[in-house]
Amino acid sequence: MSEYQAPLKDIRFTLSQICHLDDLLKLPKFYEFDGDTINAVLEEAGRLAGGVLAPLNRQGDEQGATLANGVVTTPDGFRDAYAAFRDGGWNGIQHDPNHSGMGLPLVIGNACAELWNSANMGFALCPMLTQGAIEAIQAHGSDELKSTYLDNLVTGTWTGTMNLTEPQAGSDVGALRSRAEPAADGSWRIKGQKIFITYGEHDYTDNIIHLVLARTPGSPEGTRGISLFVVPKFLVNPDGTLGQRNDLRCINLEEKLGIHASPTAVMSFGDNEGAVGYMLGDENKGMRCMFTMMNSARLNVGIEGLGIAEGAYQHAVAYALERRQGKAIGATEPGSSAIVDHADVRRMLITMKSQIDAMRGLCYVNGQALDLARNHEDGEQRAWYGQLAELLTPLSKAWCTDLGVEMASLGVQIHGGMGFIEETGAAQYYRDARIAPIYEGTNGIQALDLVMRKLTMEGGEVVRRYIGEMRTLDVTLDAGGEAFAKTRENLNTGLDSLEEASRWLLEAMAQDPNAVAAGATPYLRMFGMTVGGYLIAKGALAAAAQLGEADADASFLSGRIATARFYCEQLLPQAAALLPSVTGGSEPIFALGPEQLVS
């Protein structure tokens, strides 16, 4: 496999020119940080990703995690890699210094998460779930729960999980059957089984903190009757030391298509007297608490799609530069040409590169919006950025993970027949990427969330306002002259179509909700592609402005412009073409009856 190199130039450019990181660092919360500090953090993160995590990626895929006598063993080298990750303080990069975190902006944590996922997604899944547990306990935990668990989770001394799914329920969380019975000491006793629990058992840390959904006695049916509990693998003594083993165990590890290094556990709670748990938040309000964790996880899963696409891209570029086959049109040198000189290979590579730039822009702007929603000094701005973060989250999760699979597939295609052979490593990216569109609510669920909840915020005003914000780029693009004329035209067409699709969906909501559901997935893709076009064009204009500076990196900046123009001229027109799919109604989908689906 090719060596992974952290794409720090692109990351810094996205942070500075698209997210305007300097403005974020002016907020009181981040006064102590400056550009030099951020650069140093990213450099160190890149070294850990490239020097420690990436070399283990292939080995983790081949060896996988194993279960024997209730003990899970991760692949060789992974435990030491986690120790290096923990000792470097990387788990707490964006968390409160009062709980042993670094206190950096969330968007910097997002950038580091991209590096971990590009280098080794099987490893990166462990700290990703821990981030969600930290967010949930921070937001909803009692002072006692915070003092008991937060410091150890933030430092990575312990790890966290999210236990939602049950065999009979799948994505229908309201159908779960796990039970919680009150105990005399104020704790609860949890009984039930959960499946698909990422890093539910492992050998990285001495304790694992499970966040478990369960029903209390007499609770209402469906999601209204679900509560959330903190259930540690080992109980914690009053002095912070570990006590007895809790009544929970891993009974199986799933055999998976990819991410073999990541143990995906079947967890059994309460085989005996019941697993001791502590309620997080209020009774029957577990879904509200869990959504704090899930929304964090959804953005992080979008970053998984971005990271795996970047890893697949680097792998494909390295192969295309070395592999010689056929004669490129116009080639004059003797012998075969490097396949990078063939038009279709070049098309696939720049498709990957431009989509990655757009995905990175979306995920980072999503993280920046969360930073501003939490820390902006102006209350109205906090409210707006909170709404914007809500709007962008299903786009980040679904659009970026769909593209992660598509870009990994292109990586296989660039390798040709060798891409289908495991020894080249291209197939691993494709296999690993495939879980991300399913994680944390399938992408179809994300599309429904977008149209049913996010589009309807403030009667559609949040979407209208963001479309208006994207339209403000028009004047600047016009000033860019002929070079950006097609970019401007296609972006305006995409925004017009997005506006029309949004209006149609809002009007159809009351009359024919099934028609809205039928158009949800193409609408999400249209939205993602258009936002991606806006952000990548914004970056191209910034690059063009910098080209005139004395110390400009002309090769990098001109590459950003060329990549953005390719996206906006070759890919963005597909967004407007999705309008008939959005507004086509449900009849074409349901015209074929269930019995007719059977061959």
Query: What is the chain's Cα-based Rg?
Result: 24
Residue type, 163: N
Contact call for residues 101 and 95 (beta carbons, < 8 A): yes
Could you tell me the CA-to-CA distances from 190 to 194, 227, 267, 273 in Å, in that order? 12, 11, 12, 9
In the three-class reduction of DSSP (H, G, I as helix; E, B as strand; rest coil), residue 171 is classed as: coil
What ranges make up the beta strands (E) of 201-284?
Answer: 208-214, 227-232, 234-236, 242-245, 248-253, 264-269, 275-280
Could you give the CA distance from residue 190 to residue 269 in angstroms, rounded to a whole number? Answer: 6
Could you give the CA distance from residue 263 to residue 74 in angstroms, rounded to a whole number? Answer: 7
Could you give the CA distance from residue 304 to residue 294 in angstroms, rounded to a whole number? Answer: 15
| Catalytic-role residue among 440, 461, 469, 549 | 440
Could you give the CA distance from residue 365 to residue 396 in angstroms, rounded to a whole number? Answer: 10
Query: How many CB atoms within 10 Å of residue 327?
Result: 15
Length of the chain (residues): 599
Could you give the CA distance from residue 347 to residue 550 in angstroms, rounded to a whole number? Answer: 32
Contact call for residues 56 and 123 (beta carbons, < 8 A): yes
Contact call for residues 530 and 575 (beta carbons, < 8 A): yes
Q: Is 489 a catalytic site residue?
A: no
Read off the DSSP letter of residue 25.
Answer: T
Contact call for residues 454 and 390 (beta carbons, < 8 A): yes
What is the β-pairing status of strands 264-269 and 248-253?
Answer: antiparallel
Catalytic residues: 440
